[in-house]
Structure 1
Amino acid sequence: MLTSSARFAMARPRAVLVAALLLMLVCGGFGATVKSHMVGGGYLTGSLESVRANDFITESFPGGNPNLIVMVSGDGGVNSPEVRAAAQRITDELSHDSTVTGVQSYWANSATRPDLASALKSEDGHRGLIMATVTGTDTEVQNRAAELSNQLNGDRDGVQVRVGGMAGSFADINHQVEKDLVLAEAIAVPVSALLLVLVFGSVIAALLPVGVGLFAIAATLGILRAMTTFMDVSIFALNMTSALGLALAIDYSLFIVSRYREELANGRDTRAAILRSVQTAGRTVVFSGLTVALALAALAVFPQPFFKSFAYAGVAVVVAAVGASVLLLPAALMLLGDRVNAWDLRKPVRRLLGRGEPTPKQPEETFWYKLVTGVMRRALPVAAVTAAVLLALGSPFLKAHFGTPDDRVIGTFASSRQVGDALRHDFNADMAASAVVALPGFHGDAKEIGAYASRLSQVSNVPAVLSSEGVYVNGAKMAAGVPQMTGPDGAYLSVGTRIAPYSAEGKQQLADLRAVPAPGEVLFGGAAALNEDTMDSVISRLPLAGAIIAIITLILLFLFTGSVVLPVKALLLNLLSLTATFGAMIWVFEQGHGASLLGFTSTGSIDLFMPILMICLAFGMSMDYEVFLLSRIREEWLASDRSPEANTRSVALGVARTGRIFTAAAGLMAVVLLAVATSEVAPMKLFGIGLALAVVSDATVIRGLLAPALMRLMSTANWWSPKPLAALHKRIGLEEESSAAAEDDRAVALAR
């Protein structure tokens, strides 16, 4: 298949490149508006109890569970004429908006319901709240919230207006993610090009991976836009899949172009060098891409749109990166020939410094060969010390605390973050964190509602419970209730809280509330319930996703190597590398070390969605380097006498021939990922820094130290397989015969 695709590209290179350019323009134009069609978050599914509670209240009691909070403040206090006039103007605007329901405010209730008004006024009396519900689909809610933020936010005549709440938070995050993508690509593309020039020397060779990377970005935007027509796609997929497409395209192009230049240096002509590069490095690229795609496909077992959008988009993006690498590069290389080495910037630099041309080094003379042979002479202590260090780095992972993200994922410059901080610190109860208790179908005695509210109000750190029968504090009725909280479809209650919903204390409070005897079926909603239900939903699917990734890895590496030992070794090394990476991420992002330097707020928990996504991506990328390394080691092994000494030499030569390339590839991928980490949204920082660390540590510590040490200790057992499996591999495995060079000559003759 690869030989056929290479022949096709070589036979009509200009047509292939023109078609690719047209496709790039179409995808880029079609995908230019993708952001406005994406959803913020994507963490929820309709089957969760908390979602059903929120849906019941939204449908039966419009405005009963507000998602938009407008904070109005002024130095003269909430009752100053300026603040009151501004609040009245905003209330009128929202009340006449067909997409907004259930508008209530401090100023409307200050005379008629002072008990309610007190919850909507800050403790210092300078801030008051207007709450409402923006209706529609997730996308419609976020787009309308963004419009309201632009319309209402601002400082006028000594009055400050800030828009927040869940809808406001997602609107701010969407806007920031879009801005961050532009900045990340503006950093990643030119820096990657510069580094590629340093790796290749030649400007022409360096521009090839960049060109394939730009094609991958355009294809990504088109793929994401197409997906939004039939499913919800998370806004976070915009940055992450674009970064993934760019990084993989550059990585894969680097492998193929490097092999092509190596084959030219060995005396092959252009056609033979292209064919050999595609059959070897191209084969590795396809296999690596298949591994990454299948690791991402495992995310589809989770019900959340966040994961499903990454599963489908990630697979499509990997396919685009692989396809571009194995089809566009042969066409470009066919046109360039040996001019791929043109514009070598190292030559004028050497002349300027008065240095002559460097003499080519044999593999045995390289740094990597010397490093690996030194490691293998001390294989046992190197393996033991390296494993111990990685486990120590991973130890914070044992104390990880997970939660769903809130407004604190974005910086304090965002209005939703300012509203959230004020609610947490300046109000008696955090209105955005209040729990709602739905009683669908309840038609019992109204006094039962009052008794239930009284019991709920006695739970620790609950300042008040609001029901149709009254406002209850510490079990006592303090004021009249709100009749509209009971209707023909049932009833609901609102439970205030003084505790952060995602904390361990918030989880315990929710358990205490759920333990209170209820007058019939109840559904708990609100921030704490959404968090717990979501965590349970995700964690219950983790074993299945992990099993799928492990089985896929073992099968694919067996087909690639014919060994049952090497796949198990690769699986264990990847787990060890990931453990160390995520331990470091817990230390930084959950425990807050370096928060001020990196510009984020530590909340004492970490978003569970990101580690799961990163595990799949990092696992796939680690297999990328594993496959690339094993392919060269296996080439040497198949050409050897299969002795223990040959195993040691094959490992050293394999690392020597690939060490510089996959280290450069890891560095380039790290640049792309760290560009994503410049985001002002904390999960994107976690994603970029975490994956960059995983990639770099895997390409250096794992491939340079631990993998060679273990392969030396296992000796010829590396290549062992039971006879039935060995026979199976002989029939269906991905073999690369030692006579490939002769086959290449016949293929070249046919191509001509």
Structure 2
Amino acid sequence: MPRRTRVLLVLFSIVTVLCAWAGLMGLGRLTNSGFLPDDAPVRDDNRRLSAHYRAGGADLVLLVRADTDVDSAAVAAQGRAVGERVARSPGVVTAVSYWSAHDPALRSRDHRAALITVDLVENEGRATRAAQDLVPGLTGRQGPVTVSATGPAWASVEGMQQSRRDLLAGELIAVPLSTLVLLFVFRSLLAALIPLLTALVSVTGTLACLYALTFVMEVSVYAANVACALGFGLAVDYGLFVVTRFREERAAGAGPDEAVTRSTRTAGRTVAVSAGIVALSLCCLFTVPLGFIRSVAVAGVLVALLSAAATVCLVPALLSAAGALLDRWDVFARLRRARATGSAGAEEGAGWRRIGRAVCRRPVLWALAATAVLLAMLLPFGHAAFAPSDARVLPAAGEAHRTQEQLRRDFAIVPDRTVTIGLPRGTDRAALDTYARAVAALPGAAEVRTADGVYRGSTHHPAPAGTAPVAAAAPAGPVLTATAASGRESAEARRFVREIRGLPAPGGSALVSGEPVRVVDTTAVLSRALPPACLLAAAVTMLVLGSFTRSVLIPLKAVAMAVLSLGACVGGMVLIFQDGHLRGLLGGFTVTGTLDGAVALFVLVVAYALSVDYELFLLSRIREEYLTTGDNTAAVIKGVQRTGRLVTAAALLVVSAMVALAASGVTLLKVIGVGLAIGVVVDATLVRGILVPALMAWAGRWNWWLPGRLRRRAATGDRHALSTDEGAEHAH
């Protein structure tokens, strides 16, 4: 082994150990925030309601359940004590309990439970940390009552804890599955270990970078899960491509050093371009003003670039060190010898060659058939509905989820259906009454509460003597709480919020906050951010692919194929997670009738990048053959033959990595894992195996068309590349 190779391997080992240590240290600094858009109107309204009206909303809801009536002396005394303790706790802006307000809305229908609603500090991350410090000392048995917690802040804490548990469990799934696939592909333990070592370097490096980023920005805890899953998928794929090319060169008669050089120059260049496309596509997500999306996008960009860097730098060193030992420890040697004896003369990839020939013989028919299947898979998208996630993305047995379901079942008024409205100082009683009646008359309203009582439709029920409803006169002006008649994610609740904002308010303006408002604003921000993100991703793809393939038509077809593949991907997500099909097979999750729009957007961008990634490996081999032979159809068939088994193995490796996310207890991570797995499988079979070869065979020489000056420059570059390869071949 050359001294330079030994030094490089030692340096990589030291850096990997240090990165692993830093990554583990950094897990405690990750947060579960960033689900509220930076420029959403509800963010500013909620801040002002919290600071000036002391009514920012229920970040934390404590459910106090007793064996007797909550108005009994012992229960009331304990309830007041818990409420006072919460109100004095750090990070709490306001705390309103049933026993301090005597508001019937805070008491259950059976009078055996009551609520304490807590408004925490405005920043999402600080609110989560405040809940993390506060809740454990409050929940459980407290004298004659039992306290449990829910609300956005506590759901965030439980989401962090669950994702950290899933991170370790996921790697215990992904690593063995990836090893089995690599052993099946390479039939050599040493060859299988090289891509796995590449993934280890990539993942630990990414986790260390995320740790460093926590000092300058809030990084979502889910970024670590995504980095590990995507890192194992990409890095192992990239290592697979280079090792496979190295074996091809060795089989063609090249020596070890020459095989390393040529595989790095060909497959390594493709890996670098692929990582660039993945990273640049994910960079388009930085246009989305959502901290969660930016965190996971940063993780994806880092893991793509580090995977490529580790592949280009580490894999050649490992191949050089392995040398002739690369094919040792062939665990399938006996099976392989039996197959070789039973099928003498069988050519590697013969099955894919037959598929390529069949597709190229009738390209239009095959293209129409594949397109019809993809469009059929798109059909469920027609009834897709998007809404931000809540505690229901957590396991049903978890405290936040379980308590939220108890609120929905036992209380007439549910906090996540409540809209808080702050009116300007100086609003008199008559103006308040007129405005409250107008809100109560809206189609989606269940009731409206003010300091003077409750409004239902056109009826006003005065507040009983001695009560202090949650909606009360605040220092900055009167506050109302309007409750939607349906769930926060329903179309009726969204319409209700928009109509409230459209009502003329006393003094000219009103502050509006609450969970239904967050749904409306988050969905609106994502809808605005989606078109520019998609256009940027498409533009990046066409520029990079156009430069790589020296073609105008191929990048356009690549974008079109990716869009079809994404349609099948989002259709599958709607069918499984929105409609609830295959729920039992995936370990169970709560069906809410919606998808989280931010998560769906992330899945689509990553699936798009992976789709173009696989097409890139196919196109690179087709282009190599075309430059050598000048025969487009033969090049397509040869490209499918050479990459069919490889892309299938790469897809299996990505699916193996995604199984780790699909097994998570957090539905958000399940959606990412299953959505990407669907996209990869569809892309590696229908799109890469049939649709792309069919269209390239049909287009013929037009695949490689370029305008005049660009065509001449491309031809010069192609001749230079071809002569370089031929020179290396003759030298060998």
1:661 aligned onto 2:646: yes
For residue 620 of structure 2, the aligned residue among 631, 648, 652 is: 631
Provide, for residues 564-613 of structure 1, a one-character-per-residue CA deviation record: whole Å limited to 9, x for no partner: 11111111111111111111211111122223443111211111112211
Which residue number in structure 2 is paired with residue 6 of structure 1? none
The counterpart of 1:546, out of the listed 511, 514, 534, is 534
Give the match for residue 445 of structure 1.
428
What's the CA shift string for 1:464-509, capped at 9, x where partnerless?
3233454434341521766994455444322223321111111122
Of the three residues 686, 707, 711, the one matched with 2:696 is 711
Instruction: Tell me the equivalent position of 1:126.
Output: 112
Residue matched to 1:507? 494
Q: Structure 2: how far apart are the matches of 1:742 and 1:390?
A: 41
1:91-124 per-position Cα deviation (integer Å, ceiling 9, x unaligned): 2431331222322212333xxx3xx1x1111112
**Which residue of 536, 539, 558 maps to 1:570?**
558
DSSP 3-state at the match of 1:494: strand
Residue 54 (str. 1) matches residue 43 (str. 2): no
Moved more, 138-147 or 267-276: 138-147
Instruction: Indicate if the aligned counterparts of 1:212 and 1:249 stay in contact, CA closer than 8 A.
Output: yes
| Alignment correspondent of 1:135 | 121
Write the letter of the residue equivalent to 2:70: V
Q: Is contact 1:424-1:430 (8 Å) kept?
A: yes
8 Å CA contact 1:201, 1:346 repeated in 2: yes
CA distance in 2, matches of 1:177, 1:62: 33
- Give the equivalent residue in structure 2 for 1:398: 382
1:372 aligned residue: 356
Give the 5 Å matches for 1:105-504: 105-109=97-101, 113=102, 116=103, 118-135=104-121, 137-154=123-140, 159-349=145-335, 356=341, 361-362=346-347, 366-439=350-423, 442-475=425-458, 476-479=460-463, 485-487=472-474, 489-504=476-491
Indicate if the aligned counterparts of 1:38 and 1:139 stay in contact, CA closer than 8 A.
no
Judging changes above 3 Å, is the alpha-carbon distance between structure 1 residues 734 and 549 closer, same or farther for their aligned structure 2 residues? farther
| Match for residue 604 of structure 1 among 574, 593, 618 | 593
2 CA distance for matches of 1:597 and 1:89?
46
CA contact (8 A) 2:281 2:609 kept: yes
Distance in 2 of aligned mates of 1:518 and 1:485 = 17
Pick closer, same or farther for the CA change 1:438–1:319 going to 2, 3 Å.
same
Cα displacement string for residues 669-706 of structure 1 (whole angstroms, at most 9, x for unaligned residues): 10101211101111211110110111111111111111
Name the residue aligned to 2:583: 595
Give 3-state SS (helix, strand or coil) of 1:501's partner: coil
Counterpart in the other structure of 1:560:
548
Question: Hey, what's the Cα distance between the residues in 1 that align with 2:708 and 2:224?
Answer: 47
Number of corresponding residues: 726
Q: Secondary structure at the match of 1:268?
A: coil
Identity value in percent: 34
| Pairwise CA distance, 1:451 | 2.6
Structure 1 length normalisation: TM-score? 0.91
Matched, 1:24 2:8: no
Q: CA deviation at 1:133?
A: 2.1
In the aligned structure 2, how far is the partner of 1:242 from the partner of 1:669? 11
Cα deviation for residue 77 of structure 1 reads 4.2
Which has the larger displacement, 653-662 or 478-487?
Answer: 478-487
Structure 2: how far apart are the matches of 1:720 and 1:247?
34
C-alpha distance in structure 2 between counterparts of 1:588 and 1:552, whole Å: 31
Q: Aligned in 2, Cα 1:81/1:215: closer, same or farther, shift over 3 Å?
A: farther
- CA shift, 1:361, in A, is 4.0
Conserved in 2, the CA contact under 8 Å of 1:272 and 1:745?
Answer: no
Unaligned segments of structure 2, at least 5 residues:
none
Contact 1:73/1:83 (<8 A) preserved:
no
Residues 270 and 11 from structure 1, CA distance in 2 versus in 1: closer, same or farther, beyond 3 angstroms? farther
Per-residue deviation, 1:63: 5.1
Tell me how far apart the structure 2 counterparts of residues 693 and 162 of structure 1 sit (CA, whole Å). Answer: 38
The answer as to whether partners of 2:98 and 2:106 remain within 8 angstroms in 1 is yes
From 684, 698, 716, give the equivalent of 2:683: 698
Change (3 A) 1:86 1:271: farther
| Contact 2:451–2:473 (Cα < 8 Å) also in 1 | yes
Q: Alignment RMSD, CA only?
A: 2.5
Q: SS of 1:464's equivalent?
A: strand
Structure 1 distance, partners of 2:720, 2:650, is 24
Q: 1:68 aligns with which of 52, 60, 63?
A: 60
User: Which deviates further from its counterpart, 341-350 or 301-310?
Assistant: 341-350
Cα contact 2:105–2:412 (8 A) shared by 1 = yes
Instruction: Note closer, same or farther for the CA distance 1:81–1:180 as it changes in structure 2 (3 Å cut).
Output: farther
Partner of 1:5: none
Separation of aligned partners in 2, 1:38 and 1:466: 39
How far the C-alpha of 1:654 sits from its partner, in A, is 0.8
User: Could you list the per-position Cα deviations for residues 204-240 of structure 1 after superposition, in whole angstroms to 9, with x for gaps in the alignment?
Assistant: 0001111111111211211111111111222221211
Q: Which amino acid aligns with 1:652?
A: I
Deviation at 1:56, TM superposition (A): 0.5
Counterparts of 1:10 and 1:383 in 2: how far apart (Å)? 51
Compared CA separation, residues 27 and 651, structure 1 to 2 (3 A): same
Cα separation, 2, equivalents of 1:140 and 1:549: 34
Comparing 246-255 and 314-323, the one that deviates more: 314-323
- State the 1:666 CA deviation: 0.5
**C-alpha distance in 1, partners of 2:543/2:3?**
35
Q: Secondary structure at the match of 1:639?
A: helix
* Aligned mates of 1:468, 1:160 — CA distance in 2: 30
The Cα of 1:630 is off from its aligned counterpart by 0.7
Q: How many Å apart are 1:159 and its aligned residue? A: 4.5
